[in-house]
Chains A and B, each alone.
Chain A
Amino acid sequence: MTDKPFAITLDIGSSLANHTGSWRVERPVYVNRRPPCADACPAGEDPLRWLYQAEERGYEAAWREIMAVNPFPAVIGRVCYHPCESACNRGQLDEAVGINAVERFLGDEAIRQGWTVTSSALPTGRHVLVIGAGPAGLSAAYHLRLLGHDVTVRDGGDQPGGMMRYGIPAYRLPRDVLDTEIARIVSLGVRLERQHTVSDLRAEAAGFDAVFVAVGAQLGRRIDIPAGDGARVLDAVTMLHDVADGQPPLLGRRVVVYGGGNTAMDAARSARRIGATDALVVYRRTRDRMPAHEVDLTQALDEGITVHWLSTLTRIDGDRVRVERMRLDDTGFPQPTGEYEDLSADAVVLAVGQEADLSLLAALDGVELDGGNVRVGPDLMTGQPGIFAGGDIVGAEQTVTNAIGQGRRAAQAIDAYLAGSPAPATPPAAPATFERLNTWYYCDAPATVAPRLAAARRVSTFDEVVGGLDESTALFEARRCLSCGNCFECDNCYGVCPDNAIRKLGPGLGFEIDYDYCKGCGLCAAECPAGAIDLVPEQARQ
């Protein structure tokens, strides 16, 4: 006799005994792909990582995430041209995430809260000389200190900061912000020697284990334009430097700025602030070919700056300049037309590019120059072992962000050089493309635009033009991040698995796939909003 009911012969069992994972031909795997913002950042930041913290109101953790890479969040939050936002996948959905504005909020919050960093590395006993206290030099000094090296920074200026202080007007970068972030670096134990212009590198390098040269491109390029008596001609770099020093030059009422880059915009806008009633930019090509960033041009136009397109300066006299009309040829290059026009001008500011004074390096054995730049290897080392160079003098894009990235790269390369081992090269993760996102799950919302001072108020002062986000708008903006290519724990995979084969590990821990039951249907990967799951073919069993 059996104790089982009528017609029942077997003990009841659970389907858990049936490991359906053996059906699988593809295996879902959680991945961390490289988001386009990180790919685009010249400073080497990974904005997604700190936006993730900011989304949870973990502002300090977010700030520390930035500081691991970039010691200038509040500066960069103001002066960066945010290529991250141009690359942002959300731009294809509604509007790019305001990454730069959130970074500024975090940088400012750190200043408000007095957050600082400390170095936990053991002292190495090695000493590195950094020449130039601009963004590249200070970034290198910061990272070298974090790595445990002693650092001395020598700079010819009265105050550290380089172009951040003497090139970028205060209405774009208030000096108290700059001072605070520089002081934070110095307080890590960086030895800063001001008003110390290095001219004999070989002599000064004695006693140091490595040198990083980041003197910047401080010379305004001059061009030959016939000038009559009484013509007042300045270069933009000098003019901005003098303005920053509190000794603005006398320009008169009507100022012509020659050039089409960001420096031309800065010079024109500063000219208005030091008393010029009219600031006219003369540029030889058209707006779409202008090297100045759109935001700078827009703000300049908003402030009443006018631009004379397709024009070159051919002669400068005491109170007037002569311009020649240009036309673009088939290759987009401006060609003269022989038509001239006179414009009244009390002063002319040349903003036609900047050059580096490389005499410092030219005398060294093995150092090669390449058309105004220093030739360096991929590790930023010059032909002279132990002498590294970076920033504006190596032919890279001349922005603060890029200089900060160069400083960090140099610090890593110097660290590897001092250790006698090459820096480990980790191949970048596969890109997190827009096509991999499942945008159904994202709501549409426009970017939060940072508030701006009224143009009328802006032109007369060096007060900051672009305002910051407050806590609630910064949080809103951070939460617009799509987390491209990286899990943000939306639970979709856990929900849509028809086989209940995904384990939820708890807050911050993500998920795990139970391959005993996963049939490899691919629903989790298809419905992952962020595209953070790859399907990988299973290998045939031996």
Chain B
Amino acid sequence: MNGQRTFFYQVGTFAVGNRLLDPAMRAGQADPDRANALTSGHRACQGCGEALGARYVLDAAMRATGGKLVVVNATGCLEVFSTPYPETSWRVPWLHSLFGNAPAVAAGAAATLRAQGRDDVRVIGQGGDGGTVDIGFGCLSGMFERNDDVLFVCYDNEAYMNTGVQRSGATPPAARTATTPVVGDRSGNRFGQGKDLPVIAMAHRIPYVATATVADLRDLEAKVAHAMSLHGARYLHVLVPCPLGWGTASGDTVRVARLAVESGLFPVFEAEHGEVTAVRPIRRRVPVADYLRLQTRYRHLFTPTRCDDVLDAIGAVAEDNIRRYGLIEHRDVEHREVSP
């Protein structure tokens, strides 16, 4: 009986909260007085991962900054579904300008605040993968290069969902989109194209780069809190499944994000000044097919016949991630416990 772990909870640190936990140890989202930076009534689809991710990130940032926060938003789903004139779902100071210039506007907001001596007010720039990886990429790279005091958050749903699911630089190989159809021997998006923006951001040697998903709230909140404790250019890349564009059930949004991580296809890590500093290991590894099968954008890999060559190629991507980031830890236990 010695060494018994008394403070084991039926639900460990994976759940949002727990009535048995001290409130200070629950996730920020468990707080009945959370900021709800993106409030009810927005027009995002049922089960929208981006709406969920944006509230997670901005509530955590509001907590970290004591509510002194300005948000600059690129064009995209997030902007469209939250602000049909004259309504807004935002409960933070929020600014939208163009599709391509959000990082530059955010940098300008940070410069303005500095000029006004308001170093207590922090700036977040945010956008989808289209606005970040493709259209706003030049501005973002400039913001990184100048080390402007902005946290830029990319909500990555892996295509231009707002305009009808066109391919972006973040669309993964073999995914079907409106512009990468499954026709003849073309099996969705090509292999070998696209951009790995977290790695590109790391190449700028900025103070902080991290990836996260809506499937691990505590990890995401910790990364936002850490990012807000730093100054200079910071980049957070959040995987946010899109039921419409991915062809998943609206209730599967969190599950599919979890499987993206557990299959090895989406590595979750942190880096400072260009060096990887922490990795979230895979907890229950699954084959990539378990992740892909839930999504109709990959249906052509399973029906009418199973495309083992393509599945193997995607599996190789996962293997490469696992090797590159060390996603499989050799541990004899997998408990994540909460101390008293």
Query: Interface residues, chain A, CB within 8 Å of chain B?
Result: 10-20, 23, 55-56, 440-445, 448, 451, 470, 472-473, 475-476, 479-483, 488-492, 494-501, 504, 506-508, 514, 516-517, 519-523, 525-527, 529, 535
User: Chain A CB within 10 Å — which of B6, B46, B51, B55 has the most?
Assistant: B46
- Using A442-B11, A495-B16 as known contacts, say yes or no to A15 and B4 having CB atoms under 8 A apart: no
- Which of chain A's residues have a CB closer than 8 A to the CB of B6? 472-473, 475-476
- Which of chain B's residues have a CB closer than 8 A to the CB of A12? 86, 88
Which 10 A-B residue pairings sit nearest by Cβ, starting from the closest?
A522-B251, A491-B17, A495-B16, A15-B41, A521-B47, A521-B46, A517-B40, A443-B12, A489-B19, A10-B86
Task: Considering the complex, give the chain B residue whose CB is closest to the CB of A483.
Answer: B10
Please measure, in the bound complex, the distance between the C-alpha atom of A14 and the C-alpha atom of B84, giving whole angstroms.
10
Between A and B, 15 residue pairs with Cβ closer than 8 Å are: A13-B88, A15-B41, A441-B15, A443-B9, A443-B335, A443-B336, A444-B333, A475-B6, A476-B8, A489-B17, A491-B27, A496-B52, A506-B32, A516-B40, A517-B41
Is B329 located at the chain interface by the 8 A CB criterion?
A: no
Contact residues, B251-275 vs A (CB, 8 A): 251-255, 258
Q: Of B10, B16, B44, B334, which one neighbours A491 at CB under 8 angstroms? A: B16
Q: Is the CB of A526 within 8 A of B251?
A: yes
- Which of chain A's residues have a CB closer than 8 A to the CB of B51? 498-499
Task: Considering the complex, give the chain B residue whose CB is closest to the CB of A496.
Answer: B254
Please measure, in the bound complex, the distance between the C-alpha atom of A531 and the C-alpha atom of B333, giving whole angstroms.
26
Task: Considering the complex, give the chain B residue whose CB is closest to the CB of A518.
Answer: B40
Q: Of A14, A19, A482, A526, which one neighbours B255 at CB under 8 angstroms? A: A526
Q: Is the CB of A520 within 8 A of B46?
A: yes
Please measure, in the bound complex, the distance between the C-alpha atom of A432 and the C-alpha atom of B255, giving whole angstroms.
21
Other A-B pairs, 16, CB within 8 Å; known A496-B254, A521-B47 = A18-B42, A20-B43, A440-B14, A443-B8, A443-B14, A443-B337, A476-B5, A479-B8, A479-B10, A490-B19, A491-B16, A491-B29, A495-B217, A498-B52, A504-B30, A521-B251
Q: Of A16, A476, A480, A521, which one neighbours B40 at CB under 8 angstroms? A: A16
Q: Of A11, A16, A489, A525, which one neighbours B18 at CB under 8 angstroms? A: A489
- Which of chain B's residues have a CB closer than 8 A to the CB of A498? 44, 47-49, 51-52, 55, 253
- Using A473-B1, A491-B26 as known contacts, say yes or no to A15 and B19 having CB atoms under 8 A apart: no
- Which of chain B's residues have a CB closer than 8 A to the CB of A496? 16, 52, 254
Q: Is the CB of B19 within 8 A of A507?
A: yes
Please measure, in the bound complex, the distance between the C-alpha atom of A475 and the C-alpha atom of B12, giving whole angstroms.
15
Q: Is the CB of A523 within 8 A of B10?
A: no
- Which of chain B's residues have a CB closer than 8 A to the CB of A470? 1
Q: Is the CB of B10 within 8 A of A481?
A: yes
Q: Is the CB of A20 within 8 A of B47?
A: no
Q: Is the CB of B16 within 8 A of A523?
A: no
Q: Is the CB of B39 within 8 A of A500?
A: yes
Q: Is the CB of B334 within 8 A of A472?
A: no
Please measure, in the bound complex, the distance between the C-alpha atom of A504 and the C-alpha atom of B52, giving whole angstroms.
17
Q: Is the CB of A519 within 8 A of B46?
A: yes
User: Whole-angstrom distance from the CB of A27 to the nearest CB of chain B?
Assistant: 12
Please measure, in the bound complex, the distance between the C-alpha atom of A11 and the C-alpha atom of B87, giving whole angstroms.
9
Q: B218-258: contact bitstring with A at CB < 8 Å (1 yes, 0 no)?
A: 00000000000000000000000001000001111111001
- Which of chain A's residues have a CB closer than 8 A to the CB of B27? 491, 495
Task: Considering the complex, give the chain B residue whose CB is closest to the CB of A20.
Answer: B41
- Which of chain B's residues have a CB closer than 8 A to the CB of A56? 19-20
Q: Is the CB of A500 within 8 A of B20?
A: no
Q: Is the CB of A23 within 8 A of B46?
A: yes
- Which of chain A's residues have a CB closer than 8 A to the CB of B255? 526-527
Q: Is the CB of A15 within 8 A of B39?
A: yes
User: Whole-angstrom distance from the CB of B228 to the nearest CB of chain A?
Assistant: 20
Q: Of A445, A451, A500, which one neighbours B8 at CB under 8 angstroms? A: A445
Q: Is the CB of A11 within 8 A of B86?
A: yes
Please measure, in the bound complex, the distance between the C-alpha atom of A521 and the C-alpha atom of B30, giving whole angstroms.
20
Question: How many B residues have CB within 8 A of the partner chain?
Answer: 58
Is B157 located at the chain interface by the 8 A CB criterion?
A: no
Query: Interface residues, chain B, CB within 8 Å of chain A?
Result: 1, 4-6, 8-12, 14-20, 26-27, 29-30, 32, 36, 38-44, 46-49, 51-52, 55, 82, 85-89, 217, 243, 249-255, 258, 284, 333-337
Q: Of A483, A492, A500, which one neighbours B36 at CB under 8 angstroms? A: A500
- Using A15-B87, A15-B88, A495-B27 as known contacts, say yes or no to A445 and B40 having CB atoms under 8 A apart: no
Q: Is the CB of A490 within 8 A of B258?
A: no
Please measure, in the bound complex, the distance between the C-alpha atom of A445 and the C-alpha atom of B12, giving whole angstroms.
11
Task: Considering the complex, give the chain A residue whose CB is closest to the CB of B91.
Answer: A14
Please measure, in the bound complex, the distance between the C-alpha atom of A20 and the C-alpha atom of B42, giving whole angstroms.
8
Q: Is the CB of A492 within 8 A of B86?
A: no
Q: Of B15, B40, B249, which one neighbours A492 at CB under 8 angstroms? A: B15
- Using A15-B87, A444-B334, A526-B252 as known contacts, say yes or no to A490 and B11 having CB atoms under 8 A apart: yes
Q: Is the CB of A480 within 8 A of B87?
A: no
- Which of chain A's residues have a CB closer than 8 A to the CB of B29? 491, 494-495
Please measure, in the bound complex, the distance between the C-alpha atom of A440 and the C-alpha atom of B42, giving whole angstroms.
29
Please measure, in the bound complex, the distance between the C-alpha atom of A15 and the C-alpha atom of B252, giving whole angstroms.
25
Q: Of B11, B85, B252, which one neighbours A441 at CB under 8 angstroms? A: B11
Please measure, in the bound complex, the distance between the C-alpha atom of A351 and the C-alpha atom of B84, giving whole angstroms.
81
Task: Considering the complex, give the chain A residue whose CB is closest to the CB of B27.
Answer: A495
Q: Of B10, B26, B36, B41, which one neighbours A18 at CB under 8 angstroms? A: B41
User: Chain B CB within 10 Å — which of A10, A451, A470, A500 has the most?
Assistant: A500
- Which of chain B's residues have a CB closer than 8 A to the CB of A444? 333-335
Task: Considering the complex, give the chain A residue whose CB is closest to the CB of B46.
Answer: A521
User: Chain A CB within 10 Å — which of B14, B49, B243 has the most?
Assistant: B14
- Which of chain A's residues have a CB closer than 8 A to the CB of B44? 498-499
Please measure, in the bound complex, the distance between the C-alpha atom of A500 and the C-alpha atom of B40, giving whole angstroms.
6
User: Whole-angstrom distance from the CB of A174 to the nearest CB of chain B?
Assistant: 21
Q: Of B5, B254, B336, which one neighbours A523 at CB under 8 angstroms? A: B254
- Which of chain B's residues have a CB closer than 8 A to the CB of A473? 1, 4, 6
Please measure, in the bound complex, the distance between the C-alpha atom of A23 and the C-alpha atom of B43, giving whole angstroms.
10
- Which of chain A's residues have a CB closer than 8 A to the CB of B32? 504, 506
Please measure, in the bound complex, the distance between the C-alpha atom of A491 and the C-alpha atom of B11, giving whole angstroms.
11
- Which of chain A's residues have a CB closer than 8 A to the CB of B42? 15, 18, 20, 499
Q: Is the CB of A490 within 8 A of B17?
A: yes
User: Whole-angstrom distance from the CB of B223 to the nearest CB of chain A?
Assistant: 16
User: Whole-angstrom distance from the CB of B54 to the nearest CB of chain A?
Assistant: 9
Q: Is the CB of A523 within 8 A of B40?
A: no
User: Whole-angstrom distance from the CB of A48 to the nearest CB of chain B?
Assistant: 11
Please measure, in the bound complex, the distance between the C-alpha atom of A482 and the C-alpha atom of B15, giving whole angstroms.
13
- Which of chain B's residues have a CB closer than 8 A to the CB of A504? 30, 32
User: Whole-angstrom distance from the CB of A58 to the nearest CB of chain B?
Assistant: 11
- Which of chain A's residues have a CB closer than 8 A to the CB of B55? 498, 500
Task: Considering the complex, give the chain B residue whose CB is closest to the CB of A8.
Answer: B86
User: Whole-angstrom distance from the CB of B17 to the nearest CB of chain A?
Assistant: 3
Please measure, in the bound complex, the distance between the C-alpha atom of A506 and the C-alpha atom of B197, giving whole angstroms.
42
Please measure, in the bound complex, the distance between the C-alpha atom of A386 and the C-alpha atom of B19, giving whole angstroms.
48
Q: Is the CB of A476 within 8 A of B4?
A: yes
- Using A441-B14, A499-B51 as known contacts, say yes or no to A16 and B41 having CB atoms under 8 A apart: yes
Please measure, in the bound complex, the distance between the C-alpha atom of A9 and the C-alpha atom of B54, giving whole angstroms.
29
- Which of chain A's residues have a CB closer than 8 A to the CB of B88? 12-15
User: Whole-angstrom distance from the CB of A537 to the nearest CB of chain B?
Assistant: 14
- Which of chain B's residues have a CB closer than 8 A to the CB of A445? 5, 8, 335
Q: Is the CB of B30 within 8 A of A523?
A: no
- Which of chain A's residues have a CB closer than 8 A to the CB of B86? 10-13
Task: Considering the complex, give the chain A residue whose CB is closest to the CB of B255.
Answer: A526
- Which of chain B's residues have a CB closer than 8 A to the CB of A19? 41
- Which of chain B's residues have a CB closer than 8 A to the CB of A495? 16-17, 27, 29-30, 217
User: Whole-angstrom distance from the CB of A19 to the nearest CB of chain B?
Assistant: 7
Q: Is the CB of A494 within 8 A of B16?
A: yes
Please measure, in the bound complex, the distance between the C-alpha atom of A14 and the C-alpha atom of B12, giving whole angstroms.
37
Q: Is the CB of A492 within 8 A of B39?
A: no
Please measure, in the bound complex, the distance between the C-alpha atom of A270 and the C-alpha atom of B18, giving whole angstroms.
47
